[in-house]
Structure 1
Amino acid sequence: MMMNYTMIALWGVVNVLQTYKMFRSIIVYEINRRRDKKLYAKNIYITRGDRLEMIAMVVVLPMTPALMFILHLLGDVGIHFLDVGAFLITCALLYYFNEVTGSYTKISPEGVEEDDGHGKKTFYPLNAIDKVTYRESCDSEIPDSVSFDTKSGERIARFGPIYGGYPLLAMTRFKMENDRWPDMNNPEEAAQVKAWMNWSSTIPHIKDKEISGLAEVDM
């Protein structure tokens, strides 16, 4: 009986802490999105985790702790492998939730910065981009993707064009046509890049092509 009370208290605490974590992460996520829009004027483009994914995680994440809490309330089941499994599932879902709400890709005049949502950040200057690869999806429900790699094969960024990839694609087109990366502090060049931030001005220029040799530095 005492063990069951302990598990009720444990899962109750997990529910409370997890709920706090979710609300805090959602608030921070929305605040950051509002700030991101203001950075657009400074030619800084930030792509974050998909909002629909976040909503789905908000629905799914509380289920396991809540079910375990109710299970222990309904009967004296003590502690068993179901609790261990539920705890591991909760940790895995929370890890993914942190990734969805905390990860981002930042494209700026200085380069590309990525955060995986778990505190690991990477940064590459624009002139480290050497290879651009467009992959067309065979599934209509899965978007096409574009990857940017260094000369040594390290992945700089990878995303679907419709999910924030157009700024970097437009900069890549500028590099291909002018043999140099755009100076985003130059109003004319920045305006040209912004004018190309769409499907018709970018994808036809890279689709079905092997684009490499762009890098000016090796990283």
Structure 2
Amino acid sequence: MSLCLFLSVTLNNGVAGIDPVQLERQLSEVKGVIRQAIHMPVSLTGVDPFLSADQAPQCVIQLYFADLDALESAMHDDGPLASVIDTAASAGWCWTQQAMLVRRFAVPGASPVDSRRLERTTYLVAYEGKAEEDEAWLAHYIRQHPALMVKLPGIREVEVYTRIDYCSDLRAKRVRTLQRNKVVFDSIAALSDALASPLREELRKDFLSLPPFTGASPHYPMQTFEQYSPE
């Protein structure tokens, strides 16, 4: 299993938009990153039949690390990641951070990644509310839900993220989202088709069968720019 640092960005009024190419260049200086994804909001060509559209952050960054030492080393206050965050914050960017454990689920028939840079579409989900019993809710979700997600038509990747404790010097607000997940497709049209499929109804029924959970669970359609580190 690998670890992932989530960095979310909102912008104050009047602040210039985010250039993902420039951001990729800045993040390339961060040591220990084995994979990075920059997510930017995009509109569905259809609708999710069970959820209304949520206002997405202007950007969500995922930085993957092989272990906790590499992740925490990248979060020192004298490192390049702290410099990126501090510089952007002074220009009006508001940051949140959360480090999480990555659980990756095999997708039958999905082609292996054959490029170090990809542009795809992601449905990015955050379970920000509370369960009556977090551990019981997570166990039910992880054992049941991904087995359905990997069957979605056109699906390329499924990951689920759970909380960990970590040390960080980054000047970004900490959040404690119970769980996150993402499903990845080749295009926004492919994501929209999957949401219109019968599997989406099965996923909703399965979610409603989980132990009680209250609070927000925003689902964000995002255009995703990914980079993999060379081996």
TM normalised by structure 1 equals: 0.29
| Greater helix content | 1
| Greater strand content | 2
TM normalised by structure 2 equals: 0.28
